[in-house]
């Protein structure tokens, strides 16, 4: 089973920030939180990852709570092309496995 829980769907207005939450209450101390997205049926695309500190790159920001039991992916200025399914994944240190849950279907609206 996936180690994460995400809302099934979210809407966001174009140009506004999209905040996608994820719960991972059973995460272990050396497991990373990864975010990927999938547009239509293309291969999952890497967005960002983190261990315990907040992270930012050219695509997004990742905010991880101090207890590491949840995180939020922030797309600062969502565009129509950000419409996709977003997956929050805890990466298993034993076998490098990434367990995909159902993800959040984000729809960016004009």
Q: What is the CA radius of gyration of the chain?
A: 13
| Under rule CB under 8 A, residue 53 binds another protein | no
Please answer whether residues 91 and 4 qualify as being in contact, where contact means their C-beta atoms are separated by less than 8 angstroms.
Answer: no
Q: Which is nearer to another protein, 28 or 79 (CB)?
A: 28
Q: Which is nearer to another protein, 14 or 52 (CB)?
A: 52
| Under rule CB under 8 A, residue 8 binds another protein | no
Q: Which of 16, 46, 54, 76 binds another protein (CB under 8 A)?
A: 46
| Under rule CB under 8 A, residue 41 binds another protein | yes
- 3-state helix vs strand vs coil in the chain, percent to 5: 5, 45, 50
| Under rule CB under 8 A, residue 57 binds another protein | no
| Under rule CB under 8 A, residue 101 binds another protein | yes
Q: Which of 8, 53, 95, 110 binds another protein (CB under 8 A)?
A: 95
Report how far residue 11's alpha carbon sits from residue 27's, in angstroms, rounded to the nearest whole number. 27
Give the alpha-carbon dihedral of 61, 27, 84, 101, to 10 degrees.
180
């Amino acid at each position: 089973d996936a180690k994460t829980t995400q809302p099934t769907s979210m809407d966001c207005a174009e140009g506004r920030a999209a905040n996608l939450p994820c719960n991972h209450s059973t995460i272990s101390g050396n497991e990373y939180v990864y975010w990927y997205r999938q547009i239509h049926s293309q291969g999952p695309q890497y967005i960002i990852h983190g261990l315990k500190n907040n992270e930012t790159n050219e695509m997004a920001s990742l905010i991880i709570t101090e207890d590491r039991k949840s995180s939020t992916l922030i797309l600062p200025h969502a565009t129509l092309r950000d419409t996709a399914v977003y997956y929050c994944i805890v990466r298993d240190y034993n076998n490098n496995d990434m367990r995909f849950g159902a993800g959040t279907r984000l729809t960016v609206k004009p």
